[in-house]
Structure formats: C-alpha cells, structure tokens
Chain A
Amino acid sequence: AQSVTQLGSHVSVSEGALVLLRCNYSSSVPPYLFWYVQYPNQGLQLLLKYTTGATLVKGINGFEAEFKKSETSFHLTKPSAHMSDAAEYFCAVSRSGSARQLTFGSGTQLTVLP
C-alpha cells in the first residue's frame, strides 16, 4: 500500500520569501515521487519527479525537492516566491513508476502575497 500526506491545505507566503510545501509518503518499496502544479482552470503539469539517483531534484520554474528516505519526505521548495507561483500543488507517489499506480495527495493551495 502507498499513501501521501501533504501538511497544510493552504500556505501563504510573501513575494520574495521562501516557499516550502511539505509532503510525506508511505510506500512498501522504493518510491517514484512527483510534484504537480495546477493553475486555475487548467490541468496538472509536472514540476519535477524523483525516480532513482540524486536525491535533490530540480524542476521547472525554480522549484526543487529533496528525497529523504529516513524521513519519508519529499518537500518542495523555491528560494523566492513570485506572484505567478500562486496555484495548487500536488504531491504524488508511485511504487512502481507506473501511471496506473499513482497516488495523489490532497493538495496545497499556495497564495503569494504582494
């Protein structure tokens, strides 16, 4: 079985501040981990993913995430928030790297304050 927990359904940051969105997972085997972003009235877009190898993963739009096996975490960060980062962010896990076995978290709505 696998599951994803996103801590904080709503996060607000000031423009220029650090963005930190938290994700913890459970998986019986080494997981594939993903972060997706959803802008209003749009479908999900892949920000980044971890499969194997380097535990620090860099994605699009300046985001990155670090896979920490000991903490079963995959937190998403960005050093400096921009107004255009306001969106909903979903963490997801797949124990086999298979799309049919993707489990999504419940999402974190990021608000960026001017």
Chain B
Amino acid sequence: NAGVTQTPKFRILKIGQSMTLQCTQDMNHNYMYWYRQDPGMGLKLIYYSVGAGITDKGEVPNGYNVSRSTTEDFPLRLELAAPSQTSVYFCASTSKERWGDPNEKLFFGSGTQLSVL
C-alpha cells in the first residue's frame, strides 16, 4: 500500500553541492513526473518519463537531470545547487498518459523540502 515514496523529506544543501532526490513507486506505473512547488505558486513540471529508459524535459528542466533505469525508480539529480532551487519537490506517477476514465489520476508522493543556502 506504499504508493509513491520520496526520500529524503527534508534537506539543506550548500551552494554548489549536489544531491539526488529519490522516488519509487510500487504500482507498476509507466508514467512518472517530477514537479517543483515554489511558495505561492502552482506546481511546475521539471522532467517526466514514459517508461524505463525514456525521459524528457518539462517546463523548468535547467539545473536538473533524471534517469529511469527501472519502472519503479525515477531519481532527480541536482548538480551545483543554487538558491533558486530552494523549493518543495514532488514526484508523481500514473498508469495512463491520457485520462479518459474518471478513476485515472496522478498519484503524488509526500514531497521533499529542499533549502539551498
């Protein structure tokens, strides 16, 4: 019953450091997404993946990298962290890219709060 699991929940980085935000899902979903949520703003798409080995950029990809070696895992890598990357990061997954059925939806993790100082 785990759903989408993100680790860590909180992290403080110094400028220039790097880190990987982990995301794993146990629902066998092909489609996975990384969003960032800035204060007072809606979520913005960073990267997404339509299956193992296939990733693509979203609206705000600069400063991030992703990989998808398995169906379950979709880690987000921050290289050379900058204060502008202070945000809350959410991972999400879904079984279908397009939602015709009322029961199809995005499943979200509980988020990683990242501060870059």
Whether chain B is bound by chain A comes out as yes
Binding site for B on A (CB under 8 A): 4, 9, 32, 41-46, 49, 51, 90, 92, 96-100, 102-107
Report A-chain residues with C-beta under 8 Å of the C-beta of B109.
Answer: 43
Report B-chain residues with C-beta under 8 Å of the C-beta of A106.
Answer: 40-42
Measured CB to CB, the nearest residue on chain B to A105 is B42
Using a CB-CB cutoff of 8 Å, which residues 34-58 of chain B contact chain A?
Answer: 40-45, 48, 56, 58
Say yes or no: A100 contacts B42, CB within 8 Å.
Answer: no
Given contacts A4-B42, A42-B110, A45-B108, A100 and B99 within 8 Å (CB-CB): no
Top 7 nearest A-B pairs by Cβ distance? A104-B42, A43-B108, A46-B105, A97-B98, A104-B43, A44-B108, A43-B110
Q: Number of B residues whose C-beta is below 8 Å from A? A: 26
Binding site for A on B (CB under 8 A): 4, 31, 33, 40-45, 48, 56, 58, 90, 92, 94, 97-100, 102, 105-106, 108-111
Q: Given B41, B99, B110, which contacts A97 in the complex, CB threshold below 8 Å? A: B99
Distance of A43 Cα from B90 Cα, bound (Å): 7
Closest approach, in angstroms, between the C-beta of B113 and any C-beta of chain A? 9
Distance of A103 Cα from B98 Cα, bound (Å): 14
Say yes or no: A9 contacts B40, CB within 8 Å.
Answer: yes
Q: Given B40, B56, B98, which contacts A98 in the complex, CB threshold below 8 Å? A: B98
Report A-chain residues with C-beta under 8 Å of the C-beta of B111.
Answer: 41-43
Closest approach, in angstroms, between the C-beta of B10 and any C-beta of chain A? 10
Say yes or no: A99 contacts B110, CB within 8 Å.
Answer: no
Given contacts A9-B40, A42-B110, A99 and B90 within 8 Å (CB-CB): no
